[in-house]
Amino acid sequence: MGFGWSLPQRRRPTPHWMRIAAGGAALLLSSMSLAQQVDLGQTVAMNGTAAGVAACVACHGMKGEGDMVGGFPRIAGLSRSYLEAQLNAYAHGQRQSFLMTTPARLLTPQERSAVAAYFSRLPPYLPPQPIAIDESAQPSDVGPWLANRGRWNQNLPACAQCHGATGLGVGAAFPALTGQAASYIALQLHQWQEGKRPSGPMGLMSLVAGKLSDNDIAAVAAYYGGPDSGIQQTVAGVRK
Ligand code: HEC
Ligand code: HEC
């Protein structure tokens, strides 16, 4: 299946499917005001719930910043619709995780929506310094090449075309990659390959992940992730 693009382009108008995906996620309607939902979400995040849900911040950090060493994802500043969809997917067994399934199941739908609202309002990842794109990358520099050029003989668009030039995410539907641990990014790509994560808007990530080898996954995860949490700018591309 093709994406219908003939040339790699870094700057171009928003493709139609991106607008469709961004508009498709509806928020759970609630009788609570937004402020009340955010308050409830904060309580869940900080204290957990009486049903036995652990405080989210114990793993995801006090500000939702994640834990690079543990591979716990950053959730602060991701969109509410994305976060809520992930929590629902864990709760319904469509997205599998040893650590997330139980808390997601024990939350009520209203609590999942509220805690998503809370974390979406925390500041997103900001790189310590402006991120420059590696213009000197060669096809053999697998990480930067896949990230910024894609692989057109496989109809594989560049990650940057959906996740933004610097991987900081685009709109509500395309989450940030920069700021996530390499181990987390790699795990997600393998989860899609193995059908352990729902394919998301328009099945885009299942298509992408299905075209990546283990080596591709390691390289592109190392490019976006890593202990310093910024895009890796080494000319060699693949950090070991
Ligand atoms: C025991 C540790 C732990 C606790 C407590 C925990 N999480 Fe997680 N969370 C994880 C791990 C590990 C992952 C990555 C799982 C995977 O690979 O899918 C994750 C993933 C997520 C994701 C998906 C992030 C993304 O970018 O797709 C969301 C959203 C999330 N957690 C929200 C929460 C919320 C909200 C709470 C509190 C109700 C919570 N988590 C409590 C460990 C935890
Ligand atoms: C055609 C658009 C598109 C392209 C190209 C694309 N992605 Fe994605 N990506 C998405 C969408 C949409 C999501 C959200 C999926 C969901 O909602 O479950 C996503 C989510 C992700 C996530 C999950 C982030 C999280 O917080 O859990 C990772 C990791 C990821 N993409 C990596 C990549 C990598 C690496 C590439 C390049 C090899 C890439 N993507 C290329 C559309 C794309």
Query: DSSP string covering 120-174, please?
Result: HTSPPP--SSPPPP-TT--TTSHHHHHHHT-BGGGTB--HHHHH-TTSS-BTTTB
Q: What is the structure's pLDDT at 3?
A: 42
Q: What is the structure's pLDDT at 20?
A: 42
188 Cα: distance to centroid of ligand 2 (angstroms) = 9
In this predicted model, what pLDDT tens digit does every residue of 32-75 receive, in sequence order? 899 999 999 999 999 999 999 999 999 999 999 999 888 899 99
Other beta carbons less than 10 A from residue 48's beta carbon:
18
Q: What is the structure's pLDDT at 96?
A: 94
| Ligand 1 pocket, residue 192 CB under 6 Å | no
**Nearest-10 crossing angle of helices 109-120, 80-91:** 140
The dihedral over CA atoms of 182, 127, 58, 35, expressed in degrees to the nearest 10, equals -130
CB 111 within 8 A of CB 40: yes
The dihedral over CA atoms of 153, 201, 172, 108, expressed in degrees to the nearest 10, equals -150
Q: How confident is the model at residue 8 (pLDDT cuts 50, 70, 90)?
A: very low
Alpha helices (runs of H) in the chain, residue ranges in sequence order: 16-24, 34-47, 57-60, 80-91, 101-106, 109-120, 142-148, 159-163, 182-193, 204-210, 214-224
Q: Which of 5, 205, 216, 220 to mutate to test the pocket of ligand 2 (most atoms within 8 A of CB)?
A: 205
What tokens does 195 get?
Answer: 């059908």
46 Cα: distance to centroid of ligand 2 (angstroms) = 28
Residue type (1 letter), 220:
V
For 203, which DSSP code? G
Chain centroid, CA 153 distance in Å? 26
For 67, which DSSP code? B
- Tell me the ligand closest to 75's alpha carbon: 1
Residue range 218-239: average pLDDT?
A: 62
Alpha carbon distance 212, 217 (integer Å): 6
Q: How confident is the model at residue 219 (pLDDT cuts 50, 70, 90)?
A: very high
Q: What is the structure's pLDDT at 137?
A: 85
CA nearest to 129, candidates 224, 223, 61, 228: 228
44 Cα: distance to centroid of ligand 2 (angstroms) = 27
